[in-house]
Structure 1
Amino acid sequence: MGGVTSKCFVSSNKELRATILLLEEEIEKSKSVRQQEAWDYGRRTAEFAAKEEEWVRERRSLAEEALEQEAAQRTRRLKKCESEGGDDEEWWCLVESMKEEQRQREGAVERWKKLYLTIKTELDDLIQRTSEGERFSSGSEERMVEQLQKELRESEKEIESLRSRVAVMQKDAIRKDTEIDILRQSLRILSVRNSKRSLIREFLREELVDM
């Protein structure tokens, strides 16, 4: 009887432990999924920041180039005016220089407009795609995270419940084995007593016969 009880306990205990291991594996997978999602979000944020920094550097470089060109134009204009001399010629030189400067300025403004529109279009497109993706993924990720957290809590509760059941079963098995051992000892004691009584009765019977 004790052997059957022990076998049943071992079989049930193995099943419970296997269930616990499966649940723990699911929990680890859920944690891994959340870590991957966090890493992907961080990577997208870093890419956006790098792109924005690249545009800032490009705008700064173009601004410095425009300033250098303007300074060079002024220098050439002054040298030309100085070399040609004369009032009329000087005025003509200044007017032509101002016209050239205006053309240069308008060209620079036009280039800046095109660059600004290009950058703004790309930036708006990136922000929109990122925002839409984040709204979509954020909603689905939040629902997924909530679901995973719920499943995680349920799994942890189930694991604790199973562990409690294992502990109770272990105690019950120990108690039953102890009871069985006590019964066996009692049976042995009773068997010994019965044997002694049988011997005494046999001895008394023989004594009566001899008398």
Structure 2
Amino acid sequence: MAKWPPRNPDAIQLYSLTTPNGVKVSIALEETGLPYDAHLVDFGRNDQMSPEFLSLNPNNKIPAIIDPHGPDGEPLPLFESGAILLYIAEKSGQLMPEGAGKWEVIQWLMFQMGGIGPMFGQVGFFHHFAGKEIADSRPRERYYAEARRLLSVLEKRMAGREWIAGDYSIADIAICPWIRNLRDNYRAGAETGLEEMPNVLAWLDRFLARPAVQRGLRIPARG
């Protein structure tokens, strides 16, 4: 792709930004060791609306990938972070158990995609970004309450567990960046009850201590 020329044409090409959805994929790639090139999609320049990026994702959201060696030996473009995590797990043979455990991981991945991501994103808008200027407090309180409810589900789930679905998996990689973002970027830990959830916080600490996670959180780097 002319806009983002590959440094290694045989590697997976990642087009992303260090948002919670973006770092899911860079972390998974770092954890598995699959070769990849990371390209910054700069929202400040509206890269996500460029014809080149829209050819990968017509929904103009990061992340997206191109695997030059897809399942049939042909290049495979792919968007939606959850779909990309499933693809990386299958391609690498890592971060996903077999049998019934596979579906346990997938259900928690869907929990993130359908609940955690959308609701935490609304908390970010109404608590941290332009929505905080809206005088009506009802939308903000609604999303605080729903975020608290979702975190309570996780707090119960993580009692006595190291990872959310057996061994470390793409489910942990999907959820934990959003919890980190809620606490550290949106700074809404008090309003959503996160500060009162020791199981979730301990899980987040374990996740953030992983070397591959620490690397992935910084990819793609800004120039």
Q: Given the two structures, how large is their TM-score scaled by the length of structure 1?
A: 0.26
From the two aligned structures, give the one with the greater helix fraction. 1
Q: Rg larger in 1 or in 2?
A: 1
